[in-house]
Amino acid sequence: MKYKPLLPFLFCTVMLIQSKAQDKVLTSDEMLPYGSMMDFKFADSFGAIDTTIQDIGVVWDFADIPTSGSFSIEIVNPADTPYGAQFPTANYAYLESPQTAYRYFALDEMKMERVGSWFGGVINTYTDSQIEYVFPLELGASSYDTWDNTNSSFGGTYSLKCLGDGTLILPNGTYDNTLFVRVHVEEFIEYDAYFWYSADNGAILLEYFIGDGFFTSSFALVLDELTTTVSTDDRSFVEHLFYNNPVTDLLNVELSSRSTEPISYQLLDLNGRCLVADRFSNTGTNRLQLQLDMSAYHPGMYFLQLSSEQG
C-alpha cells in the first residue's frame, strides 16, 4: 500500500493544544495558547460603545468605532521571559508592545490571577494575587477579590460579573461567541472597566476603561487581528495547529482531507525514534482532528509525520 505524505516533517513542541470552545462558556483549558497574538487599535472616541446592552443572546454593534494606533499582547510562557524566575507560581504571561511590559499570571481550572509584572525597569510582585478571570466564565459568573499592596501599587478590591453573551460586531469583523464582563476596581481610586471576551479562547475582543477624568483618562482597545495558529504550508492539508496553554498537555492538529481512507501518523524524536504510531479515519465531514497526550515526553522538538493511505 502506498502512503502519500501530507506534511512530511511538521515541527512541534510538547506544549501544543487546540482549544475547542463550548457555546458561550469559557473554561481555563480553552484560554489562548502560547504563541498567540492579539493586535489592537485604540478607539479614537467612545460614543459607539454601549455598556447598557446586557442579557443573553444580545448584539453589540460597534462597527463604527473610529480607531488608530497600535498595541499588541502576545501570550508567552513565563519561563521564556527575562523575568519569569521572579514569579515561580506563574504559568501564563502577557508580553505587551510597543512599550515592552510583562504581566504574569497563575492559571488553573478555577481562575486566572495576576501575580506580578515588569514595566519600565520595575518588578511589581503581588504577595496576595489578584483574580482577573473565573472559570467557567459564562453569563452570571462573578467574583469578588481583595489583594494586598505591592512594592509599586496599592492594594484594593477587584470584582467582576459576566453581564451578557451574544454577538459583537467590530470594525474588523463579527464575533458570534462573545461574553461581556464588567469589572469594578477600588484602589487608591475607584473605576469601572468593561471587557468583551471570546468564549472560544478568552481573547480580549474589546476593552473599555472608564477613567475618573482627574487621575486617569478613558481608553478603549479594539481587536484588529488575532493569531492563534502556527503557519503551515499552503500545499498541505493541515489547517490548524495550536500551541498549548498550561492547563493541558494535548497536541491537537486539525486537517481537511478529501480522502475517505485512514490517515496514519508517527511522532518521532530528533533521533528519528518512533514514539507513537497510529491511524485515524475520516468520519465523512472532511475535517479531522488528531489529539495526542504529550505529558509523558520531555520538553523539546519533535517531528509529526502524517500520511494518507490512499494510493
- Together in a domain, 300 and 211: no
- Together in a domain, 157 and 293: no
The predicted pLDDT at position 1 comes to 42
Q: Which of 195, 227, 259 is the last residue of a domain?
A: 227
- Together in a domain, 97 and 154: yes
pLDDT (tens, 9 = 90+) of the chain, 311 residues, equals 443 444 333 333 333 323 333 358 999 988 998 889 999 999 999 999 999 999 999 999 999 999 999 999 999 999 999 999 999 999 999 999 999 999 999 999 999 999 999 999 999 998 888 899 999 999 999 999 987 776 666 778 999 999 999 999 999 999 999 999 999 988 878 889 999 999 999 999 999 999 877 778 899 999 999 988 654 444 445 555 555 667 776 676 766 555 556 778 888 888 888 988 888 766 555 556 677 777 778 777 788 887 766 54
- Together in a domain, 216 and 86: yes
Q: Which domain holds residue 261?
A: 4-19+236-308
28 inside domain: no
301 inside domain: yes
- Together in a domain, 274 and 193: no
Q: What global pTM score does this model have?
A: 0.74
63 inside domain: yes
Please give the Cα distance from 165 to 140 (Å, whole number): 10
143 inside domain: yes
Please give the Cα distance from 108 to 132 (Å, whole number): 12
Q: Which residues of 20-58 are buried (b: 16+ CB within 10 A; e: fewer)?
A: eeeebbbbbbbbbbbbbbbbbbebeebeebebebbeeee
Whose grid coordinates read 487599535?
Answer: 41
Please give the Cα distance from 161 to 141 (Å, whole number): 6
Select from 79, 102, 34 the least CA-distant residue to 241.
Answer: 34
- Other CB atoms within 10 Å distance of the CB of residue 4: 12
Q: Which of 207, 227, 247 is the last residue of a domain?
A: 227
- Together in a domain, 109 and 210: yes
Select from 18, 11, 13, 10 the least CA-distant residue to 248.
Answer: 18
- Together in a domain, 57 and 9: no
What's the domain count of the chain? Answer: 2
- Together in a domain, 134 and 99: yes
27 inside domain: no
Please give the Cα distance from 311 to 179 (Å, whole number): 47
Q: Which of 227, 244, 263 is the last residue of a domain?
A: 227
Tell me the CA distances in angstroms from 48 to 52, 222, 225, one per residue in order: 12, 12, 20
- Together in a domain, 161 and 12: no
Q: What is the 3-state secondary structure (H, E, C) of 142-205?
A: EEEEEECCCCCCCCEEEEEEEEEEEEEEECCEEEEEEEEEEEEEECCCEEEEEEEEECCCCCEE
CATH code of the domain containing 277: 2.60.40
Please give the Cα distance from 81 to 77 (Å, whole number): 7
- Together in a domain, 175 and 277: no
The predicted pLDDT at position 216 comes to 83
- Together in a domain, 135 and 88: yes
26 inside domain: no
The predicted pLDDT at position 130 comes to 87
Please give the Cα distance from 291 to 51 (Å, whole number): 39
Residue 85: φ, ψ to 5°: -65, -20
Contact call for residues 199 and 177 (beta carbons, < 8 A): yes
- Write the CB contacts of 40 (distance below 8 Å, at least 6 apart in sequence): 70, 71, 72, 73, 204, 221, 222, 223, 224
- Together in a domain, 83 and 54: yes
24 inside domain: no
